[in-house]
Chains A and B, each alone.
Chain A
Amino acid sequence: MSDRLAKAVFWVGTLVSLAVFGAMTVHTHQSFDALTHADALDEQVVAGKRAFERRNCNDCHTIIGFGGYYAPDLTRAYARLGEDAVRRRLESPEVVFAQSYRKMPQQHLGKQEIEDLVAFLRWVSNIENHDWPPQDSPNRWKRSTERILAGASMTPAAALVQQESCLDCHALGGKGGTVGPRLEWIGGRRDADWVARYLADPGAVSPGSRMPAYANLSEGQRLMIGQFIVSLAADRRAP
């Protein structure tokens, strides 16, 4: 290879890559507003982002996959956990994770700070990022639950879930609210007995929970709901 050719490789390689990168940067800037729903990016979301940085959340949690790998990804935390569960984790992590082998620091966040963080996570959960992360992909939830619901919607337990309006607060498949955690998500971590006990008195199992008690149901009915919810999990670890 001659010296001239070597220099040509340097200049052509560098400039071509730079041109591609520059053009893509312009394209990205033009697309960001639509893809991130910038119209919903209000002052409270920005205040939430500042709190997120002030508390150094990002060195334990990843968000859109970047940051520390010590705690769950936060991209879709709002959609996965629901607003109430997010709030409780921010308010009293020492209670929520009392039984966990990994803890979250109690940083004594103010009420306003918590609301700002919730607003921030709500906005983040709507960023259109080609359906990442896979474990929280709505398509995936839909696929697994549609299949299960098709077979299970006629069971007495499914009727109970409908009758008690669980989906007013919890998401299931493509439907439901975002106050409590997604129903499919629960069975991966809990068994039917636990769910039944929780239904009887949420506050006793998880202090601070805002879910109403279903003590009006019989023990058998609560257990049936528990078995139904556990059966929805992508991975049915508990019998």
Chain B
Amino acid sequence: MTATTAVIYKSQRIAYWYFALALVLFVLQVVVGLWIALQYVITVPQAVVDVFPFSTARAMHTNLLVLWLLLGFMGSTFYLVPDEAQTELAWPRLAIVQLVALAVTGVTALVGFFFGWTQGRPLLEIPTPLDFVVVAAALLFLANVAVTLARAKRWNPVQGTLLGGLVFLAGMYLFGMPFYRNLAMDWYYWWWVIHLWVEGAWELVTAAIAAYMLIKLTGVDRRVVEKWLYVELGLFLFTGIAGTGHHYYWLGAPRAWLWIGGAFSALEPFPIVLMLWDTWRATRDGDGALRPRLTWVYIGGMAILHFVGAGLFGFAHTLPQINYYTHGSQVTVSHGHLAFYGAYALLNLSFFYFAIPRIKGLPGGRYHERAGHWGFWLTTLGVLGMSLAFAVAGVLQTYLERVRGEPYMIAQEPMRFWMLVVFLHGLLVLAGVIVTATHLLTLGPERRPALAAADVGAARSAAGAA
């Protein structure tokens, strides 16, 4: 069996508009990112700094990231849920209303940052009135998904994980909304949003979406995928929840966090290894031909870079003995960029490449691939090079400022060259992301005769059977 290749339920098509907006925001995020990198290299005149300081650009860069990833998750959910529940979405129109609400909130927030309208807490800069719009949109979203699943009464672990992850995600957002008088308390709960998102709720959503994609693409036994999904999630949550402690070493919290945070977060790479192995096993055991090839480049890239960026780069500075010197330096930035790209940007893009050909009804879910490969490699090599340059800058900063005790600005001097290297790789990323976004939004049918590809697939299956 090869997977279904066109959408069956009309409401799945709504996902396309979520993906399209997400891609536009991704391009914008990279453009702002380039300007941020440049500010480390050149001297920005005081007159420009007074109007458009680094802080404003950084707020835009990070909020664009969060918004486009969340839109991607939501779109993926709207595509996946009708297919898994075998029914139309409960309220398709509400899904559009929700998209418009989020888009308007996003634009208002970005323009607001320019005029200093901000909550002033990194990544959670969106002012409180807009927070309420986000919460309302999230509630619409959860209600829509939950009612669809409840009406269909076809529960399975993939849906359960997805819904659980989304409720978890929305719930954690609430801890970022109040004003905290005590700075230490503020950061304690700030991490309930940020850490429990990226190393908790988002991992659940990712695991569910990836499991669904693997089942559909390879036709492997669903029960096997679901069994390993339980194990992965158990390990993710075991290491991830108490692993929040690796952010609590130096904020004025009790010393016990050094032990607990260190021990639990040192185990965090294991579930990611399991996910990597899971992907590999599915591709080996699946009887479907691995086509289109680009989908597999993305899924393979995601599995590997998720492990390198989140697992290895994270582990490198998670132990308190090391983190004492690297905390709050460009080492963190290096890990952040590669981990977000490997784990979440690539998951979203993989799903876009899976879903869009089916929404467009391209025969066999196939499409003309060439530009997509360019997009993948330009972006991926760009992000890799960028993360390595951040890492060199981070090691310099750690040694000069933290170990030798040189003043901040003196330690920054030799780092400027490496921030130039970051900027140059950023140009590659921008080129790659533009190519990818354009390719995804203009996907067309394969230009080779479809027959030839089908023959290859048949030959492979025959070889496998023999």
Binding site for B on A (CB under 8 A): 1, 3, 6-7, 9-14, 16-18, 20-21, 24, 27-28, 31-32, 35-36, 38, 41, 46, 49-50, 52-60, 62-73, 94, 100-107, 124, 127-130, 132-135, 140, 144, 185, 188-189, 234-235, 237
Secondary structure dominating the interface of B:
helix
User: Would you call A67 and B254 a contact (CB within 8 A)?
Assistant: no
What's the least CB distance linking B224 to chain A, in Å?
Answer: 10
Q: A17 with B255: in contact, given A66-B328, A69-B330, A188-B410 (CB under 8 Å)? A: no
Chain B interface size, as a band, is: 35 or more
Chain B 386-411 residues near chain A, CB threshold 8 A: 401-410
Q: How far is the CA of A200 from the CA of B442 in the complex (A)?
A: 70
Q: Are A54 and B120 in contact (CB under 8 A)?
A: yes
B184 touches A10 (CB 8 A): no
A92 vs chain B, min Cβ distance (A)? 11
Q: How far is the CA of A188 from the CA of B401 in the complex (A)?
A: 11
**Complex interface: chain A residues within 8 A of B257 (CB):** 24, 28
The answer to whether the Cβ of B340 comes within 8 Å of any Cβ in the partner chain is no
Tell me the bound Cα distance from A185 to B408 in angstroms.
11
Tell which of B45-53, B137-145, B147-155 binds the partner: B45-53
Is B242 touching A65 in the complex (CB atoms < 8 A)? no
Q: How far is the CA of A10 from the CA of B404 in the complex (A)?
A: 45
Known: A13-B238, A106-B50. A66 touches B190 (CB 8 A): yes
Contacting A at CB under 8 A, from B234-284, are 234-235, 237-242, 244-245, 248-258, 260, 264
Instruction: Please indicate which of the listed interface residues B249, B251, B329, B403 has the most CB atoms of chain A within 10 Å of its own CB.
Output: B251
Give residues of chain B (366-423) contacting chain A, Cβ–Cβ below 8 Å: 401-410, 412, 416
**Which of A1, A35, A102, A140 has most chain B Cβ within 10 Å?**
A102
Query: A10-B230, A12-B234, A70-B39 in contact; A35/B252 too (CB < 8 A)?
Result: yes
Q: Which of B43, B184, B241, B324 contacts A17 (CB 8 A)?
A: B241
Indicate if B122 sits at the interface (CB-CB under 8 A): yes
Q: Which listed residue, B46, B187, B253, B412, touches A66 by the CB 8 Å rule? A: B187
Instruction: Judge whether B156 is part of the interface by a CB distance below 8 angstroms.
Output: no
CA of A107 to CA of B50, assembled, Å: 7
- Are A14 and B234 within 8 A (Cβ)? yes
Determine whether B116 belongs to the interface, using a CB cutoff of 8 Å to chain A. yes
CB distance from A41 to the nearest CB of B (A): 6
**Given the known A-B contacts A6-B227, A65-B328, A105-B50, are A24 and B412 also in contact in the complex, defined by CB atoms under 8 Å?**
no
Task: Give the distance to chain B from A78, nearest Cβ to Cβ, in Å.
Answer: 13
Are A130 and B49 in touch, CB under 8 angstroms?
no
B231 within 8 A of A: yes
CB distance from B170 to the nearest CB of A (A): 18
Chain B residues contacting A66 (CB-CB under 8 Å) are 122, 187, 190, 251, 328
If the complex has contacts A14-B237, A24-B257, are A6 and B58 also in contact, measured as CB distance less than 8 A?
no
Chain B residues, Cβ within 8 Å of A63: 183
What CA separation (Å) do A20 and B406 show in the bound complex? 39
Interface residue from A24, A32, A72 paired with B245 (Cβ < 8 Å): A24
Known: A17-B237, A17-B239, A24-B242. A59 touches B125 (CB 8 A): yes
What is the bound-complex CA distance between A120 and B233, given in angstroms? 42
Interface hub of B40, B55, B248 (most chain A Cβ within 10 A): B55
Contact B250 A130, beta carbon cutoff 8 Å = yes
How many Å lie between the Cα of A6 and that of B278 in the bound state?
14
B116 touches A56 (CB 8 A): yes
Q: Which of B53, B223, B260 contacts A60 (CB 8 A)?
A: B53
- Chain A residue contacts of B231, Cβ below 8 A: 1, 6, 9-10
Whether, in the assembled complex, B206 has its beta carbon less than 8 Å from a beta carbon of chain A, the answer is: no
| Of the residues A36, A73, A189, contact of B328 by C-beta under 8 Å | A73
Tell whether A32 pairs with B185 under 8 Å between CB atoms, given A13-B235, A60-B54, A235-B405. Answer: yes
8 CB < 8 A contacts A-B? A17-B237, A21-B242, A55-B116, A65-B327, A103-B45, A105-B49, A127-B252, A234-B406
What is the CA–CA distance of A59 and B404 in the complex, to the nearest angstrom? 26
A95 to chain B: closest residue by CB: B46
Q: Does B118 contact A (CB under 8 A)?
A: yes
- A52 touching B188 in the complex, CB below 8 Å, given contacts A63-B183, A189-B410, A235-B404: no
Q: Does B34 contact A (CB under 8 A)?
A: no
Report the 3 A-B pairs with minimum CB-CB distance, sorted nearest first. A53-B120, A65-B328, A13-B238
Whether B120 pairs with A57 at a CB distance below 8 angstroms is yes
Residues of chain B with a CB closer than 8 A to A127's CB: 183-184, 251-252
B255 nearest CB neighbor, chain A only: A130
B119 partner, pick from A12, A31, A38, A53, beta carbons under 8 A: A53
The listed residue (B44, B55, B241, B253) touching A32 by CB distance below 8 A is: B253
Smallest CB gap from A3: residue in B = B227
Whether A36 pairs with B409 at a CB distance below 8 angstroms is: no
Cβ of B327: which chain A residues have Cβ within 8 Å of it?
65, 132-133
- The 0/1 profile, CB within 8 Å of A marked 1, for residues 298-330 of chain B is 000000000000000000000000001101111
Residue contact A124 to B125, C-beta cutoff 8 Å = no
Of all chain B residues, the one with the shortest Cβ separation from A186 is: B407
List the A residue with the shortest CB-CB distance to B408: A72
B177 interface hit (Cβ, 8 Å): no
